[in-house]
Chains A and B, each alone.
Chain A
Amino acid sequence: GAGVSQSPRYKVAKRGQDVALRCDPISGHVSLFWYQQALGQGPEFLTYFQNEAQLDKSGLPSDRFFAERPEGSVSTLKIQRTQQEDSAVYLCASSLGKGAQNTGELFFGEGSRLTVL
């Protein structure tokens, strides 16, 4: 498809389980972002990639959160030993990145809703 694709759309995990969330950005988009959105709140920045390089991971809440983008396209957000407070929608967004063509617009996916029981 032409947009940002995320999977799974819904994930239910038992406390302590590991989960992996996948993001397929728009082809050719250099920049990729992960955001966490709690119910009724605005998205909160987690981490940023430029191609395969993770340039900013200042928003990751703990060392249980890990993100990668090994070939500069698909990205995976992994959460180890999930806790109830990890329950949220995880949004992935991509953009063109640097350059005159970049309007600053982020293209978001529909998100992966994680529920930890």
Chain B
Amino acid sequence: QQPVQSPQAVILREGEDAVINCSSSKALYSVHWYRQKHGEAPIFLMILLKGGEQKGHDKISASFNEKKQQSSLYLTASQLSYSGTYFCGTGFNAGGTSYGKLTFGQGTILTVHP
């Protein structure tokens, strides 16, 4: 079952913050976040494996609430380079062989203006 992302689109000015949510109706083992610019390959941002764990690098971080079966991606002090479509991918298999078999959400389009 495809995870649901919200919002579908968000427009920001440089320096503003944004939160993108990802919810699943199934129990999750892992949540993966990717960013894709138009016509380019999706780029890995981070993976979260445990409930409540928060990860981050630079000004992008994420949390994973295993109980609520949802994850949130936090972008602080956004930069022009953050523009793109953000996808969450959910993994349901605890075995290593299915690590890359993900069910992606429909995406959230983020636009950052100067």
Contact = CB atoms under 8 A, between A and B. Distances in A.
Q: Do A and B bind?
A: yes
Interface of A: 3-4, 31, 33, 40-45, 48, 50, 55-56, 91, 93, 95, 97-99, 102-111
Given A43-B42, A91-B42, A109-B41, A102 B99 contact: yes
Contact of A31 (B87, B99, B106): B99
Contacts of A108: 34, 41-43
Nearest to A99: B96
Interface residues of B, number: 27
Contacts of A97: 96
25 contacts: A3-B41, A31-B99, A33-B100, A41-B106, A41-B107, A42-B107, A43-B89, A43-B104, A44-B104, A45-B101, A45-B103, A48-B97, A48-B100, A50-B97, A93-B100, A102-B99, A104-B91, A104-B99, A106-B32, A106-B42, A108-B34, A108-B43, A109-B41, A110-B41, A111-B41
Contacts, number: 71
Contacts of A4: 41
Would you call the interface of chain A mostly helix, strand, loop, or mixed? loop
Closest 4 CB pairs of A and B: A42-B104, A108-B41, A105-B44, A98-B96
Contact of A105 (B47, B97, B98, B104): B47
Given A40-B106, A42-B87, 11 more contacts: A41-B107, A43-B87, A44-B104, A48-B101, A56-B101, A95-B100, A97-B96, A98-B96, A108-B42, A109-B41, A110-B39
